[in-house]
Each structure stands twice: as structure tokens, then as C-alpha cells.
Structure 1
Amino acid sequence: MADLIPPTGRVHWIGTGRATGSGLGLVCDEAATLLWGRTVARAESHLDRLGLTGGAEPRALEPGALAREIVPGDVVVAMLPAAGHPALAEAALAGAAHLVSPGYADPGLTPHARRAAERGSVLLTEVGLAPGVDHLFAHDLVGAARATLGDRPAVADFASHSGSGPAAPDAFRHRFDRSPHEALTALLTPARTIAEGLPRLVARPWEDTRRLTVGDETFEAHPGRDSLPFLATYGLPATWRLESFARGTLRPDGWSAAWKPVLAELAEADEAGVAALAERLAARQPGTDADRDRVVMSVRLSVHTDDGTDWSGEWSLDTVGDARESATARLVSVPLACAVLDVAAGRVPPGLHQATDDPEAVRRWLTFLTARGIVATFRGDGAV
């Protein structure tokens, strides 16, 4: 692995979508920042909306423009849809810069991992809400359990769920401020979990919906994507036999009943049918400027050792948006800002990373969030 390319302290924030919230301001406070939108006017408008006029330099993301601006050691922040991240990674590596993304380290990024390590560049991914904050909670729980129990043989159950929806849900339990097509496609993507001690494939994730209590409120939860790669990410000891392990989506209570006709249609739809269904749902349940979103997250771990010792813990988060920004924008952009500033300060080694598994960094990032009003609740036997 090459030595880290010294960061310049300059940041290129690429994208002006819904998730670019107040975290951008935190970056602007600490680093020379360029905000890249489809046009300069779009970037200027977004800065004005966030009260950041003059806090960052607006730029238009035209062909070749970013490559001309990148200086070795700059930080590129990928806030475009996931399909655009490999191209941004390529531009960052070509310019000897670093990349930070709130999204998953999907296959499109993994070919760049070796190049990044060999060249001294950082590719820091999964540093938004989910993935992101959920990883911090998971690492904290695993660390706390191991500090108490050691690595004695044990049976463990792990579950991580999060979801967003209207703070005041109607009978349908959802309103759409963007096209539902991505959400419907996700529901059609098979999920892999561990259940009753064995790997399990769930072809239609909604068919594995279960009730889940967070605090004193009941929700519905179902798996999403492939949970199994995160066994290695979270570093669970090999001496723990996993009874269950799942990452997934949290829904308001009553969601599965309200969506029953939609899910029945979705199960039979081809690609054109999914697109048509998305269009109808967007017209039927449109979001409004008066809507406030709510994000709820629960990450929990329980461990029972073979000699009879129990440990359990849960981190939960419950945040409602306000007139200034949505809860989603806050909970994606503020953790992202923490990660960007860590990279800009030279605290992250070269190569591809999924958030952080370093206990000191986990605590520092959680403290950063708390200091900026993102307060989580811990219930259980203690955290490190």
C-alpha cells in the first residue's frame, strides 16, 4: 500500500439532490468547497436554499470540468445516483484525489480498490444513514458485547432496520416526493438473511414482514438486499453461532395491509408494469411542501453464551424533518460531512473502506453526530 496522498483540504461536493442537506454547511465551515450541480444556477439555488450563499463556489458538472479542477489530494464527494459513482471514482483516482460516498460499495466501485491502495487514495463508502450510521451502531454493539463476554462460544441474534415515511402517515402509510420506481424495484430484489441458524433467500422481501417494537411503538420490518456480506464487515467472532442476522427496512404499522393491492400487482408485474405502477402511485400519493418526513432506525444485538451469560443492546434513532430540511437530508449529509472532514484531515488510510470499524473513529463519529443534534438512544447492558 502506498503512502496516503496528503489531503489539500479542498472538497468537491458533486450533486444538489434531496440528500444534500445541512452537512454541506459543516463541510463549508471547515474546508474550501466547490458545489457541483447540473448548472451553475442550480448550484447557486441550492446554496441559497440552505443559507450557504458564498459558502461554496458553484460549478456546472459539464464534461471534463471536474477533471480540470481536481488537484492531487482533493476530496470528491459522490452525491449523484449510484450509477454515477464509478465515473466519479475514476476521475478522483486519475487526479490523485480521494472519494467519499454515502452509498454502498457496490461492484462498480470494487475494481478501483486496488488502484486506490496502490496510489495512496482513499475510497470511503457507506457513510450516510443506511448504510452509514447503522454501521457505527453495529460496530459499537459488537465491541460492547465482546468487551463484556470476550469471544466465548455463544448464540447471537443481530437485526438492523431503518425506514423513512411521513411523520403523520395517512391510510396508505406513504407519500412520494420522488418517483416510487426505485422503491418498487427494491421490493422485487431478493434478500438474503440468516434465520434459525441457516442462510435464507427471500425472493419477495415483503413476504417476510414481521412486527418490530422500537421504544414503545410497533413497526413492521422486512429484509432488504444481501445481509450476509456484513457478517465480515461487523467482525462478529467466529465463536458466535448466528441464530439470526438481517438488515432491512422499517415500515409504519399497518403498511403491509395498506399496500396489499400494490404488492399483489407488483408480484405479477414486468418491467413496463412496474413503471406504470410507479407512475400511478406518484399521482395518487404525491408529497407536498407541508409534509414532514420521519426516519426511524433500530440496530440490536443479543448474545447468549454457552455458559449461561446474556448480553443485549439496541441503538435507536427517531428524527422528524422540519421546514429547513428533511430528516433524510440531515441524517445522510451530517454523517457524510463527518467522514469528509476525516478524509480531509488525513485520518483515513488509503484503499476502499465501508464506513469505519476503528473503535476510536466510531466513538468520534457518534460524538460528532450528537454534538450536531442527531441524538440516538441506547437500551441494554452498556456500550463501549
Structure 2
Amino acid sequence: MLSLTGNHENAQALNFDATMSEERLPEIEKADLVISMLPARFHVQVAEDCIAAKKNLITPSYISPEMRDLNQKAIDAGIVIMNEIGVDPGIDHMSAMKIIDKIKDAGDKLNSFKSFCGGLIAEEHDDNPWRYKFTWNPRNVVLAGKGGTAMFLDNHEYKYIPYNRLFDRLDRITIPGYGKFVGYPNRDSLSYMDTYGLEGIGTLYRGTLRRPNFCKGFNVFIELGMTDDSFEMTNASQLSPRAFLNAFLPYIPNLSVEDKFKYFLREDRMYLYDQFEWLGIFDTDTNFGFEGATPAQLLEKLMVRKMSLSEEDKDMLVMYHEFEYEHHGKNKKIVSSMISIGEDPI
């Protein structure tokens, strides 16, 4: 516990089960302000306790429908519940609105707004073929896109991308000095039309940034069905990575797992093969030992083995906004980007 507080004299580390209201509420009652960094699924429970204790609450997560339903209760309790106060969502809102307001104040017409953000690995530590390490919650990365069909506006047309196509239909972005990225759409860009005051805009797109080969490689796992989190694999604890992969490949007894996988990849995606080999997907020497695991949980465990941050690694936060607008009858474009390199692996 001491390692959590370090040399901060005013910090106190407490040991209690934050998922249990009977342990959580007494600590909330002692606080002046509550900041919840728990997984997003617990924020509503914390908010209900804050309403009961009449304590203000801040979270970094998206406003869920359940959280929105607490609005009147929070007002009646005389407290503020402020969500989306992180990086994405959070800083991205503020940096976007600064430019949106500037365009509007000049009397110009905003036609397109695209916004992307991603937690990646700093270039000096970008040393694997996936060009990715876990700087975010690994489970959220593996389950990305499963919240529902992505919805956005493209040149006044409503567009919808289902999960099975999400990592295949990508925007390509180049940031000078940092190279090439791709973006896949977040679940619901349309809800930000009112939030940003962009009624009548032609294009509205919010997305997540990755390096190109990550999305192309991860799309293969989606196609195979290895990101499924809806069922437990009967023999999960006995599976090696190779057997895990083979469970999702066709039964062709005269072909090796490698050959079946190459057949599945097709010639046009064969350049991705080295990524999967590096990941250890063909290994037989170690079983997962994870009883009752879903495919997504086994995939997460496999990826965490090879993509976790080392003690020397630093992360990199990348944010990119693109605005297209009309100024005195001429089309103009503003690009805004922010790159922040971590100071340590924490």
C-alpha cells in the first residue's frame, strides 16, 4: 500500500472492496470529491452512492444510458456528476470545441469534423510487428467494437459499419514526424452532433487510432471468431495457442495448422503471417491453464504475453482533429494534432 502513495504526505491508501456498496459507501461519505477510476461498468453504482451521500463525482468514461438516467436524482441531491473527463473522451472535446467555436465565431460554415485518438507505444519502444503494446485495459482492446454497430455521417449520408467489418474499413492518416496511422470508427459519432452543436454538418466521425498492421491483423482474429466472448470453451485450460487457433480453422487432416492458417489468410494478406508467428499463435509448449475461458479471454491472455509494457517502455498518446469549412466562399481545412510521450511505463 505504501508504494501507492509514495512520498505524498497527504495521500492515504485504503484497502476495501470497491465493488461492494457496504464497503464503498462509508468511504464515499468521508470524501469531499469522488473520482472513480474503476472499470466503466461500476461507475453507475458509485454514482448512486454519491447521490445518497451527496458527494460530487468525476469519471473519465462515456455517459452511459444508465448514468444519464441519474441526471434528475443528481440535481435533486444538489451534486454534480461530471463524466467524460479523461483524454478520449475529455481533452478531445475541449480541443475540438476550441476550434469549432473559432470557426463559428468567424461566421464560417463547418462542413466536416473528424476526430481520432489512440493510446500507442512510443516510437523508440515500438519494436514488434504489430506496432502495439497494451497501454490501455487489455480486455477493452480485445473487445473493441463489440458495443454495437458504428454509426457516423459521411457527406450527408448516414453510414453504419457492423463489428465484422469494423477493422477492415479504415481511414488512413499521416501525422508529420510520426508516420502512418489508421482509424476505425467509434460506436456512436452521431450523438455528438448535439453535444458539439453541429446540426446540419455533412461529415461527423469519431474514431480510434492504431498502426496499420494492427487493425489488419486483428481483423483476422475477428473473421476466425477468436474474439467471441459469448461462450466458454469446454477444453480451454488444456489448450495451447496452436490448439486454440486450430479450433477455429477448418478440419483438413492432411494440412498443418500453419498451412491451414495460410490458406485462410489468402495470398493478399500473407504479409501478415510474421505478425502471428511472432505472437506465438503456433506454440505448443505452454497451455493457457484458464478453465472456463471464452475465446476472447484466451486471445487476451495470448496477446498480453507478448504485448505488455516492459519496465523501460513508454507509451504515446496521439490525438488528431480534422476540420473542413467554408470561409468567404472558399473551402478551408484545419488539422490539429497532439502527441504526448509518457515519462515512464506507469
Normalised to the residue count of structure 1, the TM-score between the two structures is 0.65
Q: Distance in 2 between matches of 1:284 and 1:196?
A: 41
Kindly provide the amino acid, as one letter, of the partner of residue 317 in structure 2.
V
User: Partner residue of 1:200?
Assistant: 159
CA distance in 2, matches of 1:286, 1:65: 32
Q: Which amino acid aligns with 2:329?
A: G
Q: Which has the larger radius of gyration?
A: 2
Alignment CA distance shift 1:188-1:92 (3 Å): closer
1:66-81 alignment, distance < 5 Å: 66-71=24-29, 74-81=32-39
Paired-residue identity, %? 23
The answer on whether the counterparts of 1:194 and 1:200 sit within 8 Å (CA) in structure 2 is yes
| 1:59 positional shift | 2.0
Q: Which residue of 2 aligns with 1:254?
A: 213
What is the CA–CA distance in structure 1 between the aligned matches of 2:226 and 2:85, rounded to whole Å?
Answer: 32
Amino acid at match of 1:286: S
SS at structure 2 position matched to 1:149: coil
Question: Are the equivalent residues in 1 in contact too, given 2:121–2:133 (CA < 8 A)?
Answer: yes
The Cα shift of 1:181 comes to 2.8
In the TM superposition, residue 79 of structure 1 has moved relative to its aligned partner by: 0.8
**Deviation of residue 191 (structure 1)?**
1.0
Distance 2:68 2:318 in 1: 30
Name the structure 1 match of 2:190. 228
Distance in 1, Cα, partners of 2:41 & 2:317: 25
Contact 1:172 1:259 in 2 (8 A): no
Find the residue that maps to 1:298 and give its secondary structure: strand
Aligned residue type for 1:195: D
Asked if the contact 2:59/2:85 (under 8 Å) is kept, the reply is: yes
- Indicate conservation of the 8 Å contact 2:151/2:160, yes or no: yes
Partner of 1:142: 100
Partners of 1:97 and 1:179 in 2: CA distance: 27
Distance in 2 separating the partners of 1:127 and 1:105: 10
Contact 2:119 2:135 in 1 (8 A): no
CA distance in 2, matches of 1:58, 1:282: 28
Give distance in 2, aligned partners of 1:114 and 1:132: 23
SS of 1:186 mapped into structure 2: coil
How many corresponding residue pairs?
273
Please say if 1:128 is aligned against 2:86: yes
Residue identity matched to 2:211: P
Structure 2: give runs of 5+ residues left out of the alignment: 231-293
Superposed displacement of residue 118, structure 1: 2.1
* Rounded Cα–Cα distance in structure 1 between residues aligned with 2:121 and 2:66: 32
Q: What SS is found at the alignment partner of 2:65?
A: coil
Provide the C-alpha distance between the structure 2 equivalents of 1:178 and 1:304, rounded to a whole number of angstroms. 37
1:119 counterpart = 2:77: yes
Q: How far apart are residue 311 of structure 1 and its match?
A: 4.1
Please state whether the residue corresponding to 2:204 is helix, strand or coil: strand
2:227–2:296: 8 Å Cα contact kept in structure 1? no
Q: What's the RMSD between the two structures over aligned residues?
A: 2.5
Structure 1 counterpart of 2:15, from 50, 60, 68: 60
Among 158, 165, 180, the residue aligned to 2:113 = 158
In 2, the alpha carbon distance for the partners of 1:256 and 1:71 equals 44
d(CA) in 2 for partners of 1:88, 1:193? 31
CA contact 1:188–1:203 (8 Å) conserved in 2: no
Measured after TM superposition, the shift of residue 200 of structure 1 is 1.1
Q: CA deviation at 1:70?
A: 4.2
CA deviation after TM superposition for structure 1 residue 180, in Å: 3.1
Contact 1:141 1:314 survives alignment (8 Å):
no
Aligned residue for 1:289? 311
Deviations 1:123-142 (Å, cap 9, x if unpaired)?
11101000000000121121
Find the counterpart in structure 1 of residue 333 from structure 2.
312
Name whichever of 170-179 and 289-298 sits farther off: 170-179
Q: Secondary structure at the match of 2:25?
A: helix
The aligned runs of 1:337-356 (5 Å cut-off) are none
Distance in 1 between residues matched to 2:139 and 2:204, nearest whole Å: 28
Per the alignment, residue 96 of structure 1 pairs with 54
Aligned 8 A contact 2:152 2:160 in 1: yes
Q: Deviations over 1:153-177 (max 9, x none)?
A: x461111101112213221111236
- Pick 1 or 2: higher relative contact order, CA cutoff 8 A, min separation 6: 1
Q: Which residue of 1 aligns with 2:296?
A: 274
SS in 1 for 2:190: coil
Q: 1:270 to 1:129 in 2, by over 3 A?
A: closer
Q: 2:269 aligns to what?
A: none
State how 1:317-336 maps to structure 2 within 5 Å.
317-323=338-344, 326=346
- 1:214 maps to which residue? 175
**What is the deviation of 1:178?**
7.1
Q: Which runs of 5+ in 1 are unaligned?
A: 1-40, 327-384
Kindly state the Cα deviation for residue 209 of structure 1 after the two structures are TM-superposed. Answer: 0.8
Structure 1 residues 206 and 163, CA, compared in 2 at 3 Å: closer, same or farther? same
